[in-house]
Structure 1
Amino acid sequence: MILNVHLIRKADDYALQRCEVAEVVEISHEDFNELKCNPLKDYSFITENKDKLEYENVSTVPCIMFIDGDGDDGILVDPQGYDYARYSAYISNARQLCRLGQYPSLDDYNRDMQSLVEHYVSEVLSEQKDGQAILSLSAVGDYYQSEYQGFLDHELFQNMMMERPEFETIEENCGDLFINVKARYLHNQMRELTQQEVDVMCAKHVLWLNDAGGERANFQNCYLNNLNIFGKDLSNSYCEGARFENCDMHSADFSNAEMESVRFNNCYMQDIFADRTNFIQADFIGCDISNSVVCDSILTSATMQNCDVDNTEITNCQLDSFKYPATDMNKAACVTGQTEEQTNSLNY
């Protein structure tokens, strides 16, 4: 949301006056800019409207709201009988304020819809599973009718939900909304790891891999943001449902790791190695996976969206329902698949 305002440096207070918008006048964009830049000039549109003001209520100042014909902002003017803006204030989003002031019922409806959307955003975030949720529009309509005694505008509700920052995509099918929640709004329900925790976990994992004690790394349902995993050996680790965002994973080894439903968002993943790795329903969004090797792995229902795969080898992988929107697979060194039966015969 953008507001055009005049910020006062180190303001002592805000001396406010009670003003009534007695007249709303739309003027051309040129006239509005002239009034904004030169408020003390005489203007014909002030002359034509100043006599409509009645100064009877000593506690309220009657004013004219001049609205930009090509915009939403306005300038509130009390000319005090003069032809210039003797007293004035710049009002951001004046058009909407005047509209709501003219139709109080519209303001009530806006509050009801906002409350409804907030209710279902909270419900989706609390009930989602692996970042996905299904919402019945008929159930939403019944709830709206019982709470607000009206009939729901389903299209408006869907549009408002789509405009929420929490959601990646919303698709309507047969009266249901299929919602994908953005990963960064899931981490409050996940265990968020620090760099120190990751370093300790990886160190213990190396000991475990070498039969020298330690502990197998378990990143299941963890949230990792802006962490350094450069060159880490995550082979044979548990990572199902984890979320990696803005992480440096250059030269990491994911061989034989369980990566089902993992989401990699904007991660630096050059030169990674993944042999016999389970990437079922994994999402790679905006990642640099160039010069990497992914072989004999399962990429069923996985997605590589807007990724850099220059010189990457994806060989002998199960690729059923594998999607790569906005990713140029022609730049990969090679991409070859195998059947589910062949993949299942591998020892994972």
Structure 2
Amino acid sequence: MKFKANFTEKPANFQMDDCRIEKVVELSHEDFCRLKITPLADQPFIRENKGCMFHRDGIIHCLLALGQGSNDGVLVDAEKYDYARLAAYIPGMRDIVNAQMDRAADFIIRWGTENTTSGNWCIYFEDLEEHLDLTIQEGSGLDSMLRAALKQRPEVSAVDMHDGCIEVEYHPEYCQQLQEKKAPELLLKDLLPMLKGGGLMFLCHEEAEQSVLVENLCELTDAGQEDHAALLNARVSEICDTPEGTEIVLTGVDPEELVRFNEAHDAFMEAEQSMGPVMG
């Protein structure tokens, strides 16, 4: 079986070091290959980020170098030098970091969508450190990776990071409390008694060319109401005034129900007219 491994000459032990990534640096393909092939050569990105590499409380605070087009990464602690004096090559490091960003995005979205009453919610970097042991700082590279992970989520419409705060704007349909606050559905049959004698009103549907006069619907007998129950149980999505009268827009009903009602009403009127006046 073929395999790739980084062997160390005369290893003292194989104990893993505790480390914390302070900053992510994205290198070009050429620079990343140069780092892998000649890790002891001076590197401009190391010289520019010496303040991000230090030891504290037994933890190595380091840089993570990722290469464009590569899934692997190199952890670097230069110990104040311009080259990778301490380094660890980590296969699949980009996937590891992306998985952590997805985990953080899940946490942010769950917290926000469950608690927001406006569609906006703010979580601070310190919240991520407390709950996920994830350190995010502006300009660290991890912040831009987290922003990209959030922007890919269907729940999120906008993301802004400033002053240690992650401010997220959510689509309302994903916000639990906004859905609970939505007004109950208004059915046509519940509205109909209030429409009698209210002037010229029409029932409309986005997918139907015909409209129904409300006054005709108000004349239905009990048997007629049963026959046209689907129309009466339609949801009212909008009420608007037009020069011709008031339009009541319906949804949740087959548009053919409007056509069927008009045909039935026309047939009834024709039958009534054909009977002529009733003699006393």
TM bracket, shorter-chain basis: 0.3 to 0.5
